[in-house]
Amino acid sequence: MTAIATSEPDDSVAVSSTEFLAVVAARELAGKGRVFAGVGLPTLAVDLAKRTVNPFLELVYESGVIGAHPEGMAEGIADSVLVSGADAVVSMQALFGYVLQGGNVDVGFLGAAQVDRHGSLNTSLIGDWRRPTVRLPGSGGAADIMPNAGECIVVLRRHDTGALPAELDFCTSPSPVRARAADPRSIPPGHGVATVITPLGVLRRPDKFGELELAQVHPGVSVEQVRENTGWDLALARELTETPRPTREDVRLLREEIDTVRLYLR
């Protein structure tokens, strides 16, 4: 594990790694229409995005909830607060078949234990397939979201060669590169992973069949530090910038309005 980049907002209030990641992720949702959100960091990010950069963001959950307007913070994607007052609650065939596979989700928001250079994800296992050292949660909806969402954003809580290896231990959710390699006729409609947000920086993949590139480093993090902690020879984007710090208002919203019980904020 590498040191986690922390930053300070304008008025010098210390920001935790989780808060920093949530703010960076929320800003990625500016201008997006419909987001398929998981639980945990994505919960914080989508809520913050709705209160700041994108009030009209439509939240879709794999439990079938569309256009959630929760009165409290959701503990899980099937929380009752997501249902009460939602625009719609639909069947799983409608959600996974018509909404997702039918091409109506702009952004999928995913987590992963491992991400490779093309944005393929491992959420299944570490080690031997038949007897893994760590059994991870598995696909859930991720393998369905990856090919079908317009693009995917991945948030990682660590940035090291274990989380960003040269080779995945297992590929749960494949990039378009892997899908094309498996069968050139099976190119998915979605872009795959477009953005990976880590504690050190932001990696972007502008080309559907290209590699992730380092596009942003967080304040206090060097390019070398990011490259040393990545399992392949990480390319640099043509324009490499420093991530803007969270504002005082971002932090206030997260702490005082979104996650008042500190369920996800650490």
Partner 1 sequence: MKPVKTRGLADAIAEYVEDGMTVALEGFGHLIPFAAGHEIIRQGRRDLTLCRMTPDLIADQMIAAGTVRKLVASFFASGSAGSLHEVRRRIEQHDPEPLEVEEYSHYGMFCRYQAAASGLPFFPLRSYAGSDLPELNPQIRVVEDPYGGAPVHVVPALAPDVTVVHAQRADRYGNVQLWGIVGAQQEVVYAGRRAIVTVEEIVDEEVVRSDPNRTLIPAHAVDAVVHCPGGAHPSYVQGCYDRDNAFYRDWTPISREPARLQAWLAEWVHGVPDRAAYLAKLGDHWPAAVAVGERLSRPVDYGRRLP
- Minimum CB distance to partner 1 smaller for 78 or for 237: 78
Rounded to an integer, what distance in angstroms lies between the CA atom of residue 93 and that of residue 7? 43
Q: Does 172 bind partner 1 (CB under 8 A)?
A: yes
Kindly name the residue from 62, 151, 211, 213 that is annotated as catalytic. 62
Binders of partner 1 among residues 48 to 77 (CB under 8 A) are 62-65, 75-77
211 is catalytic: no
Min separation Cβ 172 and partner 1, Å: 6
Which range touches partner 1 (CB under 8 A), out of 14-22, 129-137, 227-235, 246-254?
129-137
Burial of 160 (0-12, 13-18, 19+ CB in 10 A): middle
Give CA–CA dist 87/99, Å, rounded: 14
- The answer to whether residue 80 forms part of the interface with partner 1 (CB under 8 A) is yes
User: By CB under 8 A, which span of 44-52, 88-96, 104-112, 206-214 interacts with partner 1?
Assistant: 88-96
| The only residue of 32, 96, 119, 154 in contact with partner 1, by rule CB under 8 A | 96
For residues 32 and 56, give the distance between their C-alpha atoms in angstroms, rounded to a whole number.
9
Q: Which of residues 16-55 bind partner 1 (CB under 8 A)?
A: 39-40
Q: Does 79 bind partner 1 (CB under 8 A)?
A: yes
Residue 241 sits in the site that holds partner 1 (CB under 8 A): no
Q: Which 3-state string (H, E, C) describes 119-148?
A: CCEECCEEECCCCEEEECCCCCCHHHHHHH
Question: Per CB under 8 A, does 93 bind partner 1?
Answer: yes
Catalytic residue IDs = 62
Residues that bind partner 1 (CB under 8 A): 39-40, 62-65, 75-80, 83-85, 89, 91-93, 96-97, 100-101, 120, 124, 129, 131-144, 146-148, 170-175, 177-183, 185-188
